[in-house]
Chain A
Amino acid sequence: MIGQRKRLSSGLTVTSKVFVRSRNGGALKVVREHYLRNDIPCYSKACTKCQHILKADAQGNLPNFILSESPAKTKSGKRHYIVLDTNIILHAIDLLENNECFFDVIIPQTVLDEVKNRSYPIYQRVRGLVKSEDKRFVVFHNEYNEETYVNREKNESINDRNDRAIRKLVTWYDNHLNNENAAQKINIVFICNDADNRRKAISEKIDARSLTEYIEDLKNADDLRDLIPNETTNFATGENETSFPEYYNDSRIMAGVKNGTLYQGILNISPYNFLQGTVQTPAFKKPLLIIGTKHLNRAFNSDSVIVELLPKDKWKEPSSTIVEENAIGANDNAGDEDDDDISGSSGVISDKERVLLAQEAVKATSVAADDESRLQPTAKVVGISRRSWRYYVGQIAPTSVSAEDSGNASKNCFVILMDKVLPKIRIRTRKAKELLGQRIVVVVDSWSSNSRYPNGHYVRSLGEIESAEAETEALLLEHDVEYRPFSKNVLDCLPEEGANWTVPDIAGTSDPQLAKRKDLRDKLVCSIDPPNCVDIDDALHAKPLPNGNYEVGVHIADVTHFVKAGTALDQEGAARGTSVYLVDKRIDMLPMLLGTNLCSLKPYVDRFAFSVIWELDEDANIVNVNYMKSIIKSREAFSYERAQLRIDDPSQQDDLTKSMRILLKLSKKLKQKRLDAGALNLASPEVKVHMDSETSDPNEVEIKKLLETNSLVEEFMLFANISVARKIYDAYPQTAMLRRHAAPPSTNFENLNKMLSARKPGMAVSLESSRALADSLDRCVDANDPYFNTLLRIMSTRCMMAAEYFPSGSYGYPEFRHYGLAVDIYTHFTSPIRRYCDVVAHRQLAGAIGYENLDLSHRDKNKMDMIVRNINKRHRNAQFAGRASIEYYVGQVMRNNESEHEGYVIQCFNNGIVVLVPKFGVEGLIKLEMLGDVNSAEYNEDTYELTFVDLNKKKRTVAVFDKVKVDVKSVKDEVSGKRKAQLILK
């Protein structure tokens, strides 16, 4: 019910909107007052009327007219503006961003609101388009304009009403511009993919077209045609290839989640078996298993899904079979185990029965489950609350393109994604043959219940498969790393002086903040970093005090002096979250000027720093600690090796070297204390790729070496982080930016311990505390195999929880604990150039010492939650991207040197084994077909032994932890275009 009520004064009309808000089962009547105005301009430069109604906004700025007075013509020669419907923006945002089409676009506010409700990321991209003004996009606030506002009519659905509002706007623009106004006729083209809306629009004499019709009417239609997103109806396949169960409706899902019969969680597809996924839910200790395409029900890896337990007779053991999605053309339905009865089983299962079932499941997943029941509760996906769909990188499956086909008609073909836990995507393109052998970017549009594969469309090509640029960009895209150059408004936040910026004179300054800085330029500060490091975050100094104690200082680049909260620069940094290090490339969190120059604590120049200065006694106990913003002058920038050499050289007796020796001595004590407290020494197979300096081709792989000076820096950074964590937690008990590392749940180690007890009698990993874990790892030594201990540490690392950032209000103090470091509280403070957490910690510490007021966004629990969620995700992605980059380059190295190496079996399946090669840090799957006779194989689950007849007709047994000789070579997988380490058992 919307009633015109009264005119407050001329030009301002109030109406009220009444609607029912039905959320969480409630039914709230909501009344909103709605003010209409008559001073909203049309933003067209061709308009002669709107200039007269302009009113300045609160800042006194007048709106900017953007739409061109002579817009582009269509093929038929019509100059036109475009009005977009919601469905076009949601599905064709890539096309809108394309620089070849879509200029002078009007986005109705109604549409923008709908887009915002449906997909926030797309909404942001639209806002970006409008803001940049390059493509002349404007938002017209039709809902607030007297002349375009429409009342909802009786029995009209809100969608119909909105469609009508959009049509009204189109009509309004047409009348407004073309009745005694614009010099030349400007057509208003309404693009909409909803046939019904289009029909209504045409009957109202609006030039309404579908997206395809519009693109076909452009001069460059041939280039653009392939970029049109697919609607399900576009696919000629038509007939039901398959039928997935429909998702439950929202009200059922909400109620089910509430009463504990449905569960929500993130789907995690097994990397070895794309038909098997797990969902970890708070209700059960172990994740729920989801097996088979029907039960996975169109969910993608890392979608947020709603699952329902299956009856007990369908509970299964996790599969010990490797299943990879086969090439197209082979059996399309590879490995789909039980397609049988999903719906038709036993009719309805009532909630009461489901509650009982859930109790059974809790029992089954509890730790005490005895060995006889290795059954795990299984579940099926009944709804998807949030899709994880993004840009995907892949390549066209060669088998899905027929060679003799030369026509120009668009054809369906499949795209195999790089991420092998994802299904292949069906796209429709004319250029399939050109795109063969290229890395391409695609987007998923939909996956309807009668389609076996998700439908998507082609976005762009990255280049030849295996070219370094294409592969690097692909892995950045795959890990959602923002790698575009910094935008202008971000760069505008940098100091005007640019690279010529220098530390201002501290004496006699009138700036109260500068006056609070301490001058530490007399301290003998130096930095120790990897060789060729340009973004120097940290520097150190130490000196003996007259009372026999030591003064030790850690100086961190004062990034927050340049990155003020709330600026575009800050927002960009917060969005990126972390710098990303690839083998041959670094993607910065902050612009180069800051990272490698103004903030970087370069030697021989004055720099702003944030310093933590302790007084430590002989045993490295803290006597006193101070935090201050400071000015320092680093005396030298050492590499780890050079620092080590200088410390070890007895002829060096200058003060700087002496202070480094003090640091080394104290760091050893700090380390010993940490280890005594139970800090873990875990391992991951870290390797480094050497590039040929001339061709920058990778030519050698080495395992990273650790020097004493590495741990010197590390210890003091940990030490500073801990001290800062205490200080900011003290000052901001609810929102302090901290980092925690939860103790691993014992279930994570269950499998590892079972393997140990089966293969290495007497060895076990104990989990009572980090100390016990550390000690038990120390005890697990195989006298015959020195590498076994490291192997076990690598495998243990994989069982650990990931450390995470959190605002202190999210957990109680006991849960702050950092398990791996064995400290009660921890944060990241020491690398603000490359981590956003440290930036926040810097601001909070500055607030805690009264240097400046803390920005509201770091004092607000909800805002901190948002920051933390993002940086946790970015941090993870950056790690994955870094590893993927190493993996790619290792692959390139191995390509040239095929050789035999030692490897270790780390997992056994009934049709294959996984082998880790420490030399390269690579692991690879060896399928049974490659090992020998498939039919002769026997897998003993209890002893983790796979017995088979090998290619030389000899019976052979391999088991977990076995040392094996393997041939390592790099092969290109023709289907996914990915180079993988191919291991062949000797």
Chain B
Amino acid sequence: MILSPAERSYLYDSLIQKPTIRPDSRAEHQMRPLEAKTSFLPGSNGSARIRLMDGSECIVSVKAKVVVAAKEANLIECDVDVVGFRDNSNFVSNLKFNLTNLLQQNFPSDYLRLTSKYSFKLFIDCIVISHSSYPLTLISLTSYLALKTTKLPLLVSETNDEEIAELPTFSDDWDNAKPIADYFKGKGKEFQPPIFITLGYVGSNLIFDPSVEEEQVLENGLIVTFYNNKVITPIANMNLAVNSNNSNFKGLNQTAIIKSIQMGNKFGGAIIRALDALIEQDDDNDAIF
């Protein structure tokens, strides 16, 4: 319990106002301010870190490995580590499942193909160093940044090894490595990894990216997937206040789902644009420590 009954009541009452009044004076579709840094882990193919004002911090590293495609069930593997939680706890397993499921279903892994036999496999490692609100959005946004900045070594051997096997060989110059996005451009497409947006449902209002205090009084929580400029499945509802019993929690009105899709479609693009702008603004100064 991080709020007293009086605080809860005050917060709840203000959130159900039309328009909603959020304690940090955000609009309903506004995310919390964040600070991001990309490509700072020298040993990784791609990396990103996001920090929020409340001290929440997540680091994601993407590594690529050459595999025989036929022998791999998936070309993407995620691992999530949350400080303070056991790796096999429900909390961590859920996060990991959500992220893995999202990327495996919505990541065009064809683009990782090297030759008819070989492919890259991506290993996405997420560490949540500290968090207050439910960290799935944080993780997914950081993964977005990390994947967008992931570079893959340049293949210099033949791509056609159907008839005569060749082991892939790569340019030894890391500067020749190409971002994943370049492989998409070749096919005239935009590379945009999927993200999760967390929405809080309270009264008849939907609020983006609820803070930990807001989570305490929500009537329900929604996880919405945004990919290729529109909301897609899975859309899930859950109690975001995982560590306390939320006495306000109740069933979900189906109109809330429709509304969440509408809001996702309306504002999701802005989130993506903001993230892309972050990458562009990121200077090449490596030092973060």
A residues contacting B by CB (< 8 A) are 1, 3, 5-6, 16, 18-22, 24-27, 29, 31, 152, 154-158, 249-252, 254-256, 258-259, 261, 348, 350-351
How near does chain B come to A219, taking the closest CB pair, in angstroms? 44
CB contact between B171 and one of A20, A250, A251, A348 (< 8 Å): that residue: A20
Residues of B within 8 A of A258 (CB): 165, 167
Name B162's closest neighbour in chain A (CB-CB): A350
Asked whether B174 lies within 8 Å of A18 as measured between CB atoms, the reply is yes
Q: How far is the CA of A157 from the CA of B154 in the complex (A)?
A: 13
User: Which segment, of B9-17, B40-48, B203-211, B259-267, faces chain A?
Assistant: B40-48
> Once the chains bind, are B169 and A22 in contact (CB under 8 Å)?
yes
Neighbouring B residues of A5 by C-beta, 8 Å: 286-287
Q: Do the beta carbons of A255 and B42 come within 8 Å of each other?
A: no
A710 → chain B closest CB, angstroms: 56
Q: CA–CA, A26 to B155, complex, Å?
A: 11
With both chains docked as a complex, state the minimum distance between the C-beta of B97 and any C-beta of chain A, in angstroms: 29
A28 to chain B, nearest CB (A): 8
User: Which residues of chain B have C-beta atoms less than 8 A from A22's C-beta?
Assistant: 153, 168-172
Does B280 sit within 8 A of A, measured CB to CB? no
Check if A20 sits within 8 Å of B170, measured CB to CB.
Answer: yes
- Residue in contact with A24 in the complex, picked from B157, B158, B166, B167, CB distance below 8 Å: B167
Q: Does B163 make an interface contact (CB < 8 A)?
A: yes
Given contacts A19-B173, A25-B169, A158-B172, 9 further A-B contacts (CB under 8 A): A5-B286, A20-B153, A20-B177, A22-B171, A26-B66, A27-B152, A29-B174, A252-B157, A255-B165
Q: Which of A29, A31, A250 contacts B169 (CB 8 A)?
A: A250
A22 to B168, CA, bound (A): 8
Instruction: Assess whether A31 is in contact with B42, with CB atoms less than 8 Å apart.
Output: yes
Name the distance in Å between A3's Cβ and chain B's nearest Cβ: 6
A185–B164 CA distance with the chains assembled, in angstroms: 60
Assembled-state Cα–Cα distance A351/B167 (Å): 13
B176 contacts the other chain (CB 8 A): yes
The A-contacting residues of B in range 266-288, CB under 8 angstroms, are 286-287
**Does the CB pair B163–A27 fall under 8 Å?**
no
CB-contact partner of A351 in B152, B165, B177, under 8 A: B165
Q: Do B172 and A19 touch (CB < 8 A)?
A: yes
Contact B43 A29 (CB under 8 A): yes
Any chain A CB within 8 A of the CB of B201?
A: no
A155 adjacent to B176 (CB under 8 Å): yes
Given the complex of chains A and B, what is the CA–CA distance between A18 and B163 in angstroms? 34
Main secondary structure of the interface of B (DSSP, over half): loop
CA distance A816 to B168 in the complex (A): 40
Is B166 in contact with A252, judged by CB distance below 8 angstroms?
A: yes
Residues in A neighbouring B164, C-beta threshold 8 A: 252, 256, 261, 348, 350-351
Report if B65 contacts A (CB, 8 A).
yes
- Cβ contact of B166, chosen from A6, A26, A255, cutoff 8 A: A255
Partner of A18, one of B42, B167, B168: B42
Question: In this complex, what residue of B is CB-closest to A155?
Answer: B175
Checking B45, B120, B167, B174 against A251 with a beta-carbon cut-off of 8 angstroms, the contacting residue is B167
Check A25–B167 contact: CB distance below 8 A. yes
Contact: B163 with A351, CB < 8 Å?
Answer: yes
Closest to A256 in B: B165
In the assembled complex, which residues on chain A have CB atoms less than 8 Å from the CB atom of B120?
27
Closest B residue, CB atoms, query A254: B167
Query: Which 6 residue pairs spanning A and B have beta carbons closest together?
Result: A255-B165, A25-B167, A22-B170, A251-B157, A255-B167, A350-B163
A22 to B66 Cα, complex, angstroms: 10
Check: B161 CB closer than 8 A to any chain A CB.
yes
Contacts A251-B167, A351-B163 given; indicate if A25 touches B118 (C-beta within 8 A): yes
| Bound: A19/B177 CA distance, A | 10
Supposing A16-B42, A158-B172 touch, asked if A27 and B166 sit within 8 A by C-beta, the answer is no
Chain B 211-248: CB-based contact to A (< 8 A → 1; otherwise 0): 00000000000000000000000000000000000000
- Alpha-carbon distance A259/B163, docked complex (angstroms): 12
Q: Which of B44, B158, B166 contacts A29 (CB 8 A)?
A: B44
B102 is an interface residue with CB less than 8 A from chain A: no
- Whole-angstrom distance between the alpha carbons of A759 and B153 in the complex? 66
The listed residue with most A CB atoms (<10 A of its CB), out of B42, B120, B169, B171, is B169
18 pairs, A vs B, C-beta closer than 8 Å = A1-B175, A18-B42, A19-B173, A21-B172, A22-B172, A25-B66, A25-B169, A27-B66, A27-B120, A27-B152, A29-B43, A31-B42, A31-B43, A152-B175, A251-B167, A252-B157, A252-B158, A255-B167
From residue A247, how far is it (CB to closest CB) to chain B in Å? Answer: 14
Which of B42, B162, B168, B286 sits near A27, CB closer than 8 Å?
B168
The chain A residue with its CB closest to the CB of B155 is A27
- Name the residue on B nearest A157 (C-beta): B173
Residue on B with the closest CB to A258? B167
List of B residues within 8 angstroms of A256 by Cβ: 164-165
Set A29, A158, A249: member contacting B153, Cβ < 8 A: A29
Quote the shortest CB–CB distance from B289 to chain A (angstroms): 11
On whether A259 and B165 interact (CB within 8 A), knowing A31-B43, A251-B157, the answer reads: yes
> Which parts of B119-147 form the interface with A (CB within 8 Å)?
120
Given contacts A5-B287, A18-B174, A348-B163, contact A251 B42 (CB under 8 A): no
Q: Which residues of B contact A31 (CB under 8 A)?
A: 42-43
Contact A20 B66 (CB under 8 A): no
B76 interface residue, CB < 8 Å from A? no
In the docked arrangement, what's the CA distance between A5 and B284, Å?
A: 12
Contact with A261, one of B64, B162, B165 (Cβ below 8 angstroms):
B165
Q: Which residue of A lies closest to B114 (CB)?
A: A27
A20 touches B173 (CB 8 A): yes
Residues of B within 8 A of A20 (CB): 153, 170-174, 177
State the CA gap A878–B187 with chains docked (Å): 64
Chain B residues positioned under 8 Å from A152 (CB to CB): 173, 175
Q: How far is the CA of A870 from the CA of B170 in the complex (A)?
A: 34
For B43, the chain A residues whose CB sits under 8 A away are 29, 31
CB distance from A291 to the nearest CB of B (A): 23
Q: Chain A residue with minimal CB distance to B63?
A: A29
Question: Which chain B residues border A155 with CB–CB below 8 Å?
Answer: 173, 175-176
A25 touches B168 (CB 8 A): yes
Distance in Å from the Cβ of B65 to the closest Cβ of chain A? Answer: 7
Q: Using Cβ atoms and an 8 Å threshold, which residues of chain B touch A18? A: 42, 174
Residues of B within 8 Å of A27, CB to CB, are: 64-66, 120, 152-153, 168, 170
Q: Chain A nearest CB: distance from B58 CB in Å?
A: 22
Q: Which B residues are CB-close (under 8 A) to A348?
A: 163-164
B152 surroundings in chain A (CB, below 8 A): 27
Contacting residues of chain B (39-95) with chain A, CB-CB under 8 angstroms: 42-45, 64-66
Q: Which residue of B lies closest to A347 (CB)?
A: B163
Complex CA distance for A16 and B43, rounded to whole angstroms: 11
| Chain B proximity of A23: nearest CB distance (Å) | 9
Interface centre among A152, A252, A258 (most CB of B within 10 A): A252
* Chain A contacts for B118, CB-based, 8 A: 25
Given contacts A16-B42, A154-B175, contact A3 B153 (CB under 8 A): no
CB-CB nearest in chain A for B41: A31
Q: How far is the CA of A536 from the CA of B49 in the complex (A)?
A: 75
**Which residues of chain B come closer than 8 Å to A259, judged between CB atoms?**
165
Contact A29 B45 (CB under 8 A): yes
Q: Within 8 Å CB of B175, what residues of A?
A: 1, 152, 154-155
B173 touches A158 (CB 8 A): yes
With known contacts A22-B169, A25-B66, A158-B172, A255–B286 Cβ distance under 8 A: no
Contacts of B153 on A, CB cut-off 8 Å? 20, 22, 27, 29
List, in ascending order, chain A residues with CB within 8 A of B172's CB.
Answer: 19-22, 158
Q: Separation in Å of the A417 CB from the closest CB of chain B? A: 36
A80–B174 Cα gap in the complex (Å)? Answer: 39
The CA of A157 and the CA of B177, in the complex, are separated in Å by 13
Q: Give the residues in chain B near A251, CB-CB below 8 Å.
A: 157-158, 166-169
A495 to B66, CA, bound (A): 57
Least distance between A935 CB and chain B CB atoms (Å): 47
Task: Closest B residue to A32 by CB, please name it.
Answer: B42
Q: Measured between alpha carbons, how far is A16 from B287 in the docked complex, in Å?
A: 13
Inter-chain contact B42/A26, CB cutoff 8 Å:
no
CB distance from A497 to the nearest CB of B (A): 56
Write the chain B residue with the least CB distance to A158: B172
